Structures are given as C-alpha cells and as structure tokens.
Chain A
C-alpha cells in the first residue's frame, strides 16, 4: 500500500475544503497538506450554487438583523453562539474572496451589489450573476494554486478514517485511476465532503453528493446531528430537479397556482404586494413555501404536467434585459430542460430536495467530539441552520467554518507533538483494503446497486418528505433497515481496477443507506413540527420537549441510538416565527 505522510489531511476540495486548505497554508506554511477529493476540485458541487452568499455590508443593515433572521429562520434550533460568530465573520470572508478575484456583481459606484433573499429582512446577499457558487469555487481553487504546501490528490476516493486510541490520524483512499489503496497518515483530518441530497430521488444535488464523509465519521462513532431536517427548495424544475435559484424571486419573480393566483397569501405570508416585500410572499423562508405547495396540491390547485404536479414561476415582467443580466443560467436551463423561456413563458416548478441542515456534530471551532477530527461545510452541523437554513447562508458557512477548521487544525497540530502508533494504523489501513478486496472477490451477490438505491430513494420520498407522520416514518424505517440488510449481499459487476465507477457507486450507496437511516429514525423520534420537519400527527412546535439537537449514534447491527443535546441560546428566546406583513 502506498503511504502519504503529511500533517493535515483534508477530505473534499469543494468550497469548504479549499477554504480550509488555504487557511492552513496561510497560518503555517511549513505544514504539509494533503487535499483529497473524489473529483477534480472545480467539479465539486459548490459550483452549482447560483443565488449568492449573505453578509452584512450595507449601512442600512446590521449584524443583529442577520443574526435574528438566521435564528428565527432556523426555528430557534440554531446555536446562537455559532450564529453570532458566523454573522460577524462572514463579511470579512466575502471581502477576502473579493480580494482573491471573485467576480462579484457590482453597483455603478464599483461597490459590491446585494440582492434580496428569502427570509432576510434586508438585502444582503452578495452575488455573481446567478453563478455565485461556480465563481466562488473557481476563485478558491485558482487561489489555492499559489500555496506550495497544498498537495492535491484529485480523484482519490476516501473510504475510511484511521483512528488510533480515539484520535483521528488520517484516512485511506483509493486512487481512482489505478485502483490502488493509499494511506494518508498525518496528525489531523478535516472532513469537507459536502451534503447527501442523493438519498432522495428528486434533488438539486449532483451525483457526488452521497454523504460519504458523514457516513465515515458516523461509523467511527461521531454522532450525526439534526439529520431529520432536510430542506426542500420550492422552485426546482420538474423532471430533472434542476434548481431555479431563489434569486429569481429576489429579482421579483412570482409564484402562482393554476388560477394564476399568488397562493402564498393564503399561508400567512401576505400581503401580495406587487413589489418584492422582504420576508413576505415569494421571499418567505423555504420550509414555508414548500409546505404551501403541498397544501395547494391537496386542494387541487396545482397544475398537472407530464412530470407531475407543478406551480408556475412568473418572471415575464422582469423583462429580457434584467433576466439576461441577473439570471442568464436560469434562462438557459429553463429553455433547455422544460422548453419555457422566462422572458415570455411561465416556468413550471415544484419543491425539490436541496440541502441537509444536519450533519457531523461540530462545535464553533469546527471540531468534532473526536480528537484530531474536524468537519466543515454542508457535511457538518455547527449549527447555524437549525431546523431550516436560509438561502445564501451556506456559501457563507463553508467559508467561515472552512477557514476556522483550518486554523484550529493548525493549533491542534502544534499541541500534539510526535505521535506513535503508525504501525497500528497501517494495520487498520490493511483491514480497510481487505474490505474492498472482499467486494471484488464476492461471488453470487444477488442485490443490484441500482435497485437498492431506488428502493432507498423511494421509501424516503414516500415516508419522509415535506410532511411526515408516525405510520409513514415507521414504514420508511422498516424499509430502510431492509435495504441495509440487503446491501450486505450487493453484487460488484465490474472487477477492474481502473476508474471503476461500479465500485464507487457501490461504496456511495453504502454511505447513503447509513445516512438515510439516521434521517428516518431521527424524524420518527422527533414528535413535534419545527422548520423543515413537519409532522401531520404532531403539528405544533414543542419547546418543552424538543428544543434540542438530535444526536444519532452508529449501531452496526440495528437502528442508530438517538440521544439529545442542548441548544445554545444566548440572546434570542424562542418565539413565534412571523413572516408577511406582520414581520415588518
């Protein structure tokens, strides 16, 4: 087995991983960094983010406003110390990105421009047309090339964390071009492996978002926090699930039902002003908008289409010039995929799985409960998102907490000195390699990857969607346990070593099943409705019993063990979430 000796291993080269790598390189250029990613950095899913990143810069705005929007947007499940730190640091991070060359859209004066976003009281979302994540990712990647201490391992698929005596020391990864197992041995690991939207069938998430890092940490004993909170974005293109950014509504796009009626006014989000009123109607939070779709559908007021029921996003009044300038990708995608040109046509949309609020449990320094292990970005749960993330907070999150993870990992490395136990880790790596080899050797496996994945996808969608109840969740949990058992008999059909995507999809499926199980069980146990977790049988928020973070612990042979942890509340006591005219 090849061994790469290094100081800090970073798993994932998306926005969070690149930001962490640069933070390490700047904090201590003498430390060696191994940046390991299953895709080339610029293919990471951060590239798909369209709308923007929120940060207070305008004089009319204040850090307190951003704090309040985020805490109430998260239905008070956010940790307020984390949110406070986040809103303080994000303007600096966004400015730093500006200095590194990010092509932010500008005002005539040359200052960065901001746009309105859902659930935000003030316009504060920095954007680069409707390709914000793409530009952020390429800026970070290209900037990372300046630092010689960052050594990239592109297209290396990480399989396991290496843990010696409770301390995380590295990971094993398969070089995809050769199939060779490589041991990355260092002093600390930062997981930046992104989300897991692919556990659902209909999602804005790319093929790589399979929760690998979440599952790796989980299997190693680190709890996954608040996994029941899955965000549906209200405006996905039907059929493909491709996202139309909230920026569409930020720029003034309207949602209408089959009668051309702005139905959101029936769900405590009005009044239906003709202009975009902040925190109201189309600029309400995502959980409420997706829930409104469900009710419209129940009332028979959605529009049947060949891809299922939809509502319409009307952007025609914005005009061609504005659409081309602010929403060029949206126009391209709508025309290509559903044959609707936003300049002249109504565009069909429906809610689509978009983001995992939950993830690897970390504190405000991005540290997990395991020594030597950090996590940041969508794979982690700090939590600044609570029960419902506000749009444009997660691009900021990956910068703030990616950078913090990097800096704190550097501090940690300084304290550990020389570590022993390399031989034990090499043995562990050997075990990891044997597990992969045994997949190759297995004969007669009966279960097909695609079929198992479909079963997992459908049961989550059916029982654990926008609305859930006891029966649907019990059914989902049973079916996922069944999929998990069948996975042990999965069949690898491709036995070659070079770029074997059958193997990687099989491993990804294994990760997704673990993650899916935490989602379903956590949802079953939370007997209340909060943010994106809505129970038809427990319709109210229950602060007395559930103002708590769910912690799911791995159990190799059965359901995860569920425990709870306190929410950090500093200055905002739980209250009713108010949107629409009453929020002004």
Chain B
C-alpha cells in the first residue's frame, strides 16, 4: 500500500491552558485510501494524546465528525485524502463556540431542534392493534428527503444568516419541521408555525443556499425553507379571506 506524508495544521484550544486558539502542525504518514479522520486518529494514537475531536461511526451517519477542512465544512470520515494536497488545515466548525480543539458547543442547535416539535402530532391517536397508518410511496417521498438529516451542523457552519444572527432557527431544524409538516400522518403544522414562521424562522433566511451545498446527505434545507415560505405566505393570505382565521 502506498504511503503519503501529509501535513495537518490543526487548530488547538484548551480553555484551561491556552489564552487563544493556535495551529499545531503534525506530519502524518498516511495510507492513500485514508480519510481525514484516519489521519486524526493516527495523530491521537501515535503522536499526541491531547488532541480532542468527536467521532464514532466512520460511515457518514452518526454526524459527529463535522469540522472545517481547508475552510469548508465537511465530515472528516467523508473527506478523502486523495482529494487534497499535502497540506490540510483543520478547524472546528465555524459559527459555534469552541469547547476544546475541534469540539464545538452545540447546545444552541439542540435547543432549536427541540423548539420545532419534531415528532408526529396525529389528528387522533390510533390504537396499535389497528395496525399501521397507510402511507403510499408517493406520500413517503413527499417528506423522505427531509428525514435524512444526521444533525451534523455543516449547514449551520456554512449559513451566512446564522453567522449574523444567532437566533435564526437555521437550516436543519427548519428542514426537520418541514419533514413533519409534510408527513401524511401529521397535523401539527399550526403547532410548529409560531416558531417556524416567526421572525427568526423561515423569514430570516436570505436564500443563499450554502446549506444545501455543504449538506452531506442531500437534505436540501434551502429547498425546504423555500417551500415553507410559500405555504406560510399562502396561509397568511388565506387568513384574510371570508371565513379565514383572522
């Protein structure tokens, strides 16, 4: 197997001992088929036990290892070394406070995810012994794409609006709200509306689309937000019609 020497420039920050973040360079002997995560694991095992980062599944599905690689938000387990030159710069995801090294604080996202009521709100509870709700493949398709989000936060890191305004609910949480709104088993749209269609919800999005570009799961949060804007606008206008909610 062929080997390649890679220079990893890794952002380090340990709040108890470092005044401010700095870069540390590791020269790592890498196998050609490795991903950036493998190189980091090599550093951790063989060179520097003090480097911290999150990871688990190594198969693009747990969403733990989001980081900025050469400035781009990526999953470290999906960033193949073959696509990079010999020098690679690795930083924590931007737009989040650094907890330590490549580990970011994600409380804000978790709160936002919780705020959109991401669960089925049924019209009426159906007893289990009556079996499943029928849902045709077409009905499944209506929301399936938006259910693929692994909460990796790459989209928040890429989002210019979130960078400016921390209150913005943001791409993944809005896409998740849309996922439930579009589910044929759910009638919870109005219960989610006060968050989703608020000042900090869909209307804050300036539709740059960076979120959809970086998403490793093709969730297309930007598309979801556009769709929600459309339906909310229709709702709003309908509410002025005779018999409307207003």
Instruction: List residues of A whose CB falls within 8 A of some B CB.
Output: 39-40, 42-45, 47-48, 92, 95-96, 98-101, 103-112, 131, 134-135, 138, 142-143, 145-146, 154, 177, 206-208, 239-240, 242-243, 306, 329, 332-333, 336-338, 449-450, 493-494, 496-502
Task: Report the nearest B residue to A504, measured CB to CB.
Answer: B52
Interface residues on B, range: 35 or more
Q: Are B120 and A100 in contact (CB under 8 A)?
A: yes
Q: Give the residues in chain B near A143, CB-CB below 8 Å.
A: 119-120
Bound-state Cα–Cα, A45 to B57, Å: 7
Which residues 85-123 in B have Cβ within 8 Å of A in the complex?
Answer: 99-101, 103, 105-106, 110, 114, 117-120, 122
Q: Is there an interface contact between A134 and B150, defined as CB atoms closer than 8 Å? A: yes
Question: Closest CB of chain A to B116's CB: distance in Å?
Answer: 10
Hey, which chain B residues are within 8 Å of A240, CB to CB? 58
Per the bound structure, the CA–CA distance linking A47 and B59 in Å amounts to: 10
Identity of the chain A residue whose Cβ is nearest the Cβ of B51 in the assembled complex: A501
In the complex, chain A residues whose CB is within 8 Å of the CB of B56? 39, 43, 45, 206-208
B30-62 contacts to A, CB under 8 A, are: 33, 44-46, 49-62
22 contacts between A and B (CB under 8 A): A39-B56, A45-B56, A48-B57, A101-B120, A101-B186, A111-B134, A138-B147, A142-B118, A142-B119, A146-B119, A154-B110, A177-B99, A207-B55, A306-B1, A329-B61, A332-B60, A493-B50, A496-B50, A498-B16, A499-B100, A500-B52, A502-B49
Q: Which of B14, B51, B55, B132 contacts A498 (CB 8 A)?
A: B14
Q: Do the beta carbons of B180 and A109 come within 8 Å of each other? A: no
Given known A-B contacts A138-B147, A337-B33, A498 and B100 have beta carbons under 8 A apart: yes
B78 within 8 A of A: yes
Identify which of B135-143, B159-167, B200-208, B222-230 touches chain A: B135-143
- The 4 A-B residue pairs with the shortest CB-CB distance in the complex, in nearest-first order: A110-B134, A450-B45, A493-B49, A206-B56
Is the Cβ of A43 less than 8 Å from the Cβ of B63? Answer: yes
In the complex, residue of chain B having the shortest beta-carbon distance to the beta carbon of A179: B16
Query: CB distance B136 to A108 under 8 Å?
Result: yes
Residue in A101, A106, A177 whose Cβ sees the most chain B Cβ within 10 Å: A101
Given the complex, which residues of A lie within 8 Å of B15, measured CB to CB? 498
| Known A39-B56, A138-B147: A105·B132 in contact at CB below 8 Å | no
Additional A-B contacts beyond A43-B57, A100-B119 (12; CB < 8 A): A43-B54, A92-B129, A99-B185, A106-B137, A109-B134, A134-B150, A207-B58, A240-B58, A243-B59, A333-B60, A449-B45, A501-B53
* A103 in contact with B143 (CB, 8 Å): yes
The answer to whether B133 has its CB under 8 Å from any CB of chain A is yes
Give the interface of B toward A (CB within 8 A): 1, 14-17, 33, 44-46, 49-64, 78, 80, 99-101, 103, 105-106, 110, 114, 117-120, 122, 125-126, 128-129, 131-137, 139-140, 143-144, 147-148, 150-151, 176, 180, 183, 185-186
Q: Report if A48-B52 is in contact (Cβ < 8 Å); known contacts: A92-B128, A111-B132, A134-B150.
A: no
Please give me the residue from chain A that is nearest to B126 by CB atom.
A99
User: CA separation between A208 and B64, bound complex, in Å?
Assistant: 11
Interface contact A497-B16, CB-CB below 8 Å = yes
Taking a contact as CB atoms closer than 8 A, the residue among B122, B126, B135, B148 that contacts A106 in the complex is B135
List A contacts of B131 (CB < 8 A): 95
Contacts of A43 in B (CB 8 A): 54, 56-57, 62-64
> Considering only CB atoms, which chain A residue lies closest to B131 in the complex?
A95
Residues of B contacting A42 in the complex (Cβ-Cβ under 8 angstroms): 62-63, 150-151
Report the minimal beta-carbon distance from B12 to chain A, rounded to whole angstroms. Answer: 11
- Contact A333-B59, Cβ < 8 Å, known A40-B106, A101-B119, A499-B103: yes
Beta-carbon contact of A145 and B118 below 8 Å = yes
In the bound complex, CA of A45 to CA of B78 (Å)? 18
Which residues of A have CB within 8 Å of B60? 329, 332-333
Across the two chains, which residue of chain A brings its CB closest to B109? A40
Q: Which of A106, A154, A242 contacts B59, CB < 8 Å?
A: A242
Residues of B near A39 (CB, < 8 A) are 54, 56, 62, 64
Chain A residues positioned under 8 Å from B1 (CB to CB)? 306
Q: How far is the CA of A325 from the CA of B125 in the complex (A)?
A: 31
Q: How far is the CB of B149 from chain A (nearest CB, A)?
A: 8
Contact B137 A108 (CB under 8 A): yes
Residues on A with beta carbons closer than 8 Å to the beta carbon of B59:
48, 242-243, 333
Most buried by B among A107, A108, A332, A496: A496
- Inter-chain contacts of B186 with A (CB < 8 A): 101
**Which residue on chain A has the smallest CB distance to residue B122?**
A99
Indicate which residue in B99, B136, B140 contacts A499 across the interface (CB closer than 8 Å). Answer: B99
* Residue in A95, A108, A496, A501 whose CB lies within 8 Å of B132: A95
Inside 8 A of B17's CB, which chain A residues have their CB? Answer: 496
Contact B128 A103 (CB under 8 A): no
- A146-B119, A496-B16 known; A48 vs B135 contact (CB < 8 Å): no
Find chain B residues with CB under 8 A from A338 CB.
33
CA distance in complex: A336, B59 (Å): 10
B14 contacts across to A, CB distance below 8 A = 496, 498
Q: Once the chains are docked, how many angstroms separate the CA of A101 from the CA of B181?
A: 11
| Closest chain B residue, CB of each to CB of A329 | B61
When C-beta atoms are compared, the residue in chain A nearest to B82 turns out to be: A339
Assembly CA distance A243 to B118 (angstroms): 29
Q: How far is the CB of A310 from chain B (nearest CB, A)?
A: 14
Q: How far in angstroms is the closest Cβ of chain A from B168?
A: 20
Pick from B61, B126, B133, B183: contact of A47, CB below 8 A: B61
Residues of A within 8 A of B45 (CB): 449-450
Chain B's closest residue to A96 (CB) is B128
Please, which residue of chain B has its CB at the minimum distance from the CB of A49? B61
CA distance A40 to B59 in the complex (A): 17
- Is there contact, CB below 8 Å, between A206 and B132? no
A246 → B minimal CB distance (Å) = 16
Inter-chain CA distance A43–B33, complex, in Å, is 25
Q: How far, in whole Å, are A337 and B49 apart by their CA atoms in the complex?
A: 27
Contact assessment for A48 and B62 in the assembled complex, using a CB-CB cutoff below 8 Å: yes
Chain A's closest residue to B186 (CB) is: A101
Query: In the complex where A47-B62, A336-B78, A449-B49 touch, is A110 in contact with B57 (Cβ < 8 A)?
Result: no
Residues of A within 8 A of B133 (CB): 98-99
Tell me how far the C-beta of B117 lies from the nearest C-beta in chain A, rounded to whole angstroms. Answer: 8
User: How far in angstroms is the closest Cβ of chain A from B75?
Assistant: 11
Say how far B92's CB is from chain A's closest CB, in angstroms.
Answer: 11
Chain A CB within 10 A, most for which of B59, B101, B114 = B59
Chain A contacts of B180 at CB under 8 A?
A: 101
Given A98-B133, A494-B50, A498-B16, also A103-B119 (CB < 8 A): no
Chain B residues, CB < 8 A from A135: 147
Question: B139 CB to closest chain A CB, in angstroms?
Answer: 7
When distances are taken between beta carbons in the complex, the residues of chain B under 8 Å from A134 are 61, 150
